[in-house]
Chain A
């Protein structure tokens, strides 16, 4: 006999049509799964009643442990116990070394661009490790719901780029979970607080988790969320708090063997326990016992505040930037939602309240709020709600565009555009007779290709040769609800098409995204200058190119030797100045060359018309304008 849940009036599913769906918060420190049953959302516990699943995977001799059973190995067997794997998601090998201070496992030497962690059961990638966590959550959900579920909404930080989102989807695929949708964590949190049913207003979601910090500015309008801006720091979270405290312990205690992985883990563990106790107590005793040293000390709130203030200030800097992006003032924020276990730390709450000048929402457990929102969204997506009660809009974190002549980036979709979105832009050919065009897809907010991130390249080939500027190539960018990109190009005159699904190359950390954004602001003026210089240089090349091809066809017939020499002299001036960084000079030389060629251009026009009309009667041309041309 199957167990039955209560449904809303008139919405009973028929037998065998139960639509179960879950929300999964795949976190850096802890993961969770939640589902809607009998009209209520709840996180699903394991058989011991634990809701949080520590995102820790331990590779034992024969099998794989996930969660609490893996946690116990983190001190005794750190090399085969993988923590905070989310930080590696979608990262390339070269990103890893920067942050390796936090890692206590060993990376394998590998040919591929994806970093692999050396374990006793072979080398594993971040995607594989995440899949183990998802498998455990899936098993728990099936046992709890008593049935297979249709799919899952998995949350990701708003800052995750295409590569990281794809990596998350890959992990779900490995775990055999159908992803209904990836949802930004802060957006999920706002849903959990039921802010979608509330008044209109602007909401800030402050999400300080174990390893990532996200700030999102959402606008609520008639029950629809629009993400105005997102910002954050993907390498800042509770782990850094713990690290800061562990450094303080090392300094206080003079422990000498702090570099050993096991000691490192022990220190981090003690630091976390101390931090958590200080949410309730004014001071806490810390005792460290290693093989070599032992130490007993006291940490109080005042000291903790001093240690953590710089880190919290960092998060507030991101908040300020996001507010600026969203073009809203601090005082227009109606609600601040606190997400992530680290927001339990008192100093965080105090400083956030002070910054936004309003008391943040903390009534829902900050550890489960994201999974709760994801479950609500999943419930809607499998069709358990009458019509789409919630329509969530997310934004793309960095602008997307293509390379144009001169190594410039033409942005097709600007950052903070709500997704899903499709935008098209027309481009044309640069040279006469051009039959192919390379499309280079880029991500970033700088003006030059070298400052942006290359996502994909493809070629549109085989359109008919035409004069420069005659081809009409429409490039369409399509970003789906998960933030994944498809770029297609079509030559409109001939209908030749090509497209690419951007399987983003791994290798850009969130940190770098943030740096790229910062750079784009800091270098705004340089970039503007660089862009106009390149544009003039491209224009100069175009003029020279056109002149050369004209002179080759009819230069000697239409011009005397003296005239030809004169044009060539002015042309040489442009060739000489075009590589200088002086925009005005190039512009001036282009004008001079155009002036010098005026006569020649007029003669060419006449001779072209003449040859086109030779052998025809004036009466054949109906337009007056044409006959006048002929007479002149």
Chain B
């Protein structure tokens, strides 16, 4: 069971956390909604819940709740630029299909 970050993603997360001034890490998760069933959650974390799994990778704490981990195991979080747009990208081996816009997915 593991979640990893690419080098650029780790750098960005560190930079964001630093400029935010608080927060212990980054939460990855899934929510059951969106047109293909699931959507990703990406949030700053101020408090770690007791049931959370914590992965430390490239100097960044990645926090995942056990329910989400089932869907996210093996995911690599990347940070990319597409044209002028830039942001985070979930490379999830379990993802079978995504809706047209890619905001939601099925496993």
Tell whether A15 is near chain B: CB-to-CB under 8 Å.
yes
Asked whether A44 lies within 8 Å of B34 as measured between CB atoms, the reply is no
Which A residue sits closest to B13, measured CB to CB? A6
Tell whether A145 is near chain B: CB-to-CB under 8 Å.
yes
Given contacts A4-B90, A15-B39, A40-B19, contact A143 B85 (CB under 8 A): yes
Asked whether B44 lies within 8 Å of A12 as measured between CB atoms, the reply is no
Asked whether B85 lies within 8 Å of A16 as measured between CB atoms, the reply is no
CB distance from A576 to the nearest CB of B (A): 79
Asked whether A4 lies within 8 Å of B88 as measured between CB atoms, the reply is yes
- 8 A Cβ contacts from B1-52 to A: 12-13, 16, 19-20, 26-27, 31, 33-35, 39-47
Asked whether B16 lies within 8 Å of A47 as measured between CB atoms, the reply is no
Q: What separation, in Å, do the CA atoms of A39 and B42 have in the docked complex?
A: 12
| Residues on B with beta carbons closer than 8 Å to the beta carbon of A16 | 34-35, 101, 103-104
CB distance from A32 to the nearest CB of B (A): 15
Interface SS of A by simple majority: loop
Asked whether A143 lies within 8 Å of B83 as measured between CB atoms, the reply is yes
- 8 A Cβ contacts from A96-114 to B: none
Given contacts A14-B34, A16-B103, contact A146 B43 (CB under 8 A): no
Tell whether A8 is near chain B: CB-to-CB under 8 Å.
yes
Q: What separation, in Å, do the CA atoms of A144 and B86 have in the docked complex?
A: 7
Q: What separation, in Å, do the CA atoms of A13 and B9 have in the docked complex?
A: 21
Tell whether A584 is near chain B: CB-to-CB under 8 Å.
no
Given contacts A4-B89, A39-B16, contact A12 B84 (CB under 8 A): no
| Residues on B with beta carbons closer than 8 Å to the beta carbon of A145 | 85
Give the contacting residue for A144; candidates B33, B34, B84, B104; CB below 8 A.
B84
CB distance from B9 to the nearest CB of A (A): 11
CB distance from A445 to the nearest CB of B (A): 46
Asked whether B89 lies within 8 Å of A6 as measured between CB atoms, the reply is no
Which A residue sits closest to B104, measured CB to CB? A15
Asked whether A40 lies within 8 Å of B16 as measured between CB atoms, the reply is yes
| Residues on A with beta carbons closer than 8 Å to the beta carbon of B84 | 44-47, 140, 143-144
Give the contacting residue for B44; candidates A9, A45, A46, A146; CB below 8 A.
A9
Asked whether A12 lies within 8 Å of B87 as measured between CB atoms, the reply is no
CB distance from A36 to the nearest CB of B (A): 12
Which B residue sits closest to A39, measured CB to CB? B20
Given contacts A14-B39, A16-B103, contact A9 B45 (CB under 8 A): yes
Asked whether A3 lies within 8 Å of B87 as measured between CB atoms, the reply is yes
Asked whether A3 lies within 8 Å of B80 as measured between CB atoms, the reply is yes
Tell whether A38 is near chain B: CB-to-CB under 8 Å.
yes
Tell whether B54 is near chain A: CB-to-CB under 8 Å.
no
Contact-residue bracket for chain B: 35 or more
Tell whether A1 is near chain B: CB-to-CB under 8 Å.
yes
Which B residue sits closest to A49, measured CB to CB? B84
Which A residue sits closest to B80, measured CB to CB? A3
Q: What separation, in Å, do the CA atoms of A10 and B85 have in the docked complex?
A: 24
Give the contacting residue for A10; candidates B19, B43, B102; CB below 8 A.
B43
| Residues on A with beta carbons closer than 8 Å to the beta carbon of B41 | 7, 12
CB distance from B6 to the nearest CB of A (A): 14
Q: What separation, in Å, do the CA atoms of A16 and B98 have in the docked complex?
A: 13
CB distance from A19 to the nearest CB of B (A): 13
Asked whether A12 lies within 8 Å of B43 as measured between CB atoms, the reply is yes
Given contacts A12-B31, A15-B34, A40-B19, contact A6 B88 (CB under 8 A): yes
Given contacts A15-B33, A39-B16, A40-B16, contact A6 B103 (CB under 8 A): no
Contact pattern, B 44-82, Cβ under 8 Å of A = 1, otherwise 0: 111100000000000000000000000000000000101
Q: What separation, in Å, do the CA atoms of A47 and B26 have in the docked complex?
A: 30
Q: What separation, in Å, do the CA atoms of A591 and B25 have in the docked complex?
A: 84
Tell whether A292 is near chain B: CB-to-CB under 8 Å.
no
Q: What separation, in Å, do the CA atoms of A11 and B46 have in the docked complex?
A: 13
CB distance from B77 to the nearest CB of A (A): 9
- 8 A Cβ contacts from A127-169 to B: 140, 143-146
Give the contacting residue for B102; candidates A2, A8, A12; CB below 8 A.
A2
Asked whether A6 lies within 8 Å of B33 as measured between CB atoms, the reply is no
Asked whether B82 lies within 8 Å of A146 as measured between CB atoms, the reply is yes
| Residues on A with beta carbons closer than 8 Å to the beta carbon of B86 | 3
Which B residue sits closest to A45, measured CB to CB? B84
Given contacts A14-B33, A15-B33, A40-B19, contact A5 B87 (CB under 8 A): yes
Give the contacting residue for B82; candidates A3, A8, A47, A140; CB below 8 A.
A3
Asked whether A1 lies within 8 Å of B90 as measured between CB atoms, the reply is yes
Q: What separation, in Å, do the CA atoms of A146 and B35 have in the docked complex?
A: 19
| Residues on B with beta carbons closer than 8 Å to the beta carbon of A272 | none
Q: What separation, in Å, do the CA atoms of A131 and B90 have in the docked complex?
A: 38
Q: What separation, in Å, do the CA atoms of A37 and B104 have in the docked complex?
A: 20
| Residues on B with beta carbons closer than 8 Å to the beta carbon of A144 | 84-85
| Residues on A with beta carbons closer than 8 Å to the beta carbon of B33 | 14-15
Q: What separation, in Å, do the CA atoms of A9 and B98 have in the docked complex?
A: 25
Chain A CB within 10 A, most for which of B26, B27, B39 = B39
CB distance from B72 to the nearest CB of A (A): 13
Q: What separation, in Å, do the CA atoms of A38 and B15 have in the docked complex?
A: 11
CB distance from A154 to the nearest CB of B (A): 21
| Residues on A with beta carbons closer than 8 Å to the beta carbon of B82 | 3, 146
| Residues on B with beta carbons closer than 8 Å to the beta carbon of A38 | 12, 16, 87
Which B residue sits closest to A14, measured CB to CB? B33
CB distance from A489 to the nearest CB of B (A): 50
Contact pattern, A 25-44, Cβ under 8 Å of B = 1, otherwise 0: 00000000000011110001
Asked whether A8 lies within 8 Å of B44 as measured between CB atoms, the reply is yes
Asked whether B102 lies within 8 Å of A39 as measured between CB atoms, the reply is no
Q: What separation, in Å, do the CA atoms of A302 and B85 have in the docked complex?
A: 46
Give the contacting residue for B89; candidates A1, A12, A37, A140; CB below 8 A.
A1
Q: What separation, in Å, do the CA atoms of A40 and B87 have in the docked complex?
A: 12
Give the contacting residue for B88; candidates A5, A46, A47; CB below 8 A.
A5
CB distance from B106 to the nearest CB of A (A): 12
Asked whether B103 lies within 8 Å of A9 as measured between CB atoms, the reply is no
Asked whether B103 lies within 8 Å of A15 as measured between CB atoms, the reply is yes
Can you list 29 A-B contacts with CB-CB less than 8 angstroms, sorted by A residue number? A1-B89, A3-B85, A3-B86, A4-B40, A4-B42, A5-B42, A5-B87, A5-B88, A6-B42, A6-B43, A7-B41, A7-B42, A9-B44, A9-B45, A12-B42, A14-B33, A14-B39, A15-B35, A15-B104, A16-B34, A16-B35, A16-B103, A16-B104, A39-B16, A46-B84, A47-B83, A145-B85, A146-B83, A146-B87
User: Which 4 residue pairs across A and B have the least CB separation, nearest first?
Assistant: A3-B87, A15-B34, A15-B39, A146-B85
Residues of A in contact with B (beta carbons under 8 Å apart)? 1-12, 14-16, 18, 37-40, 44-47, 140, 143-146
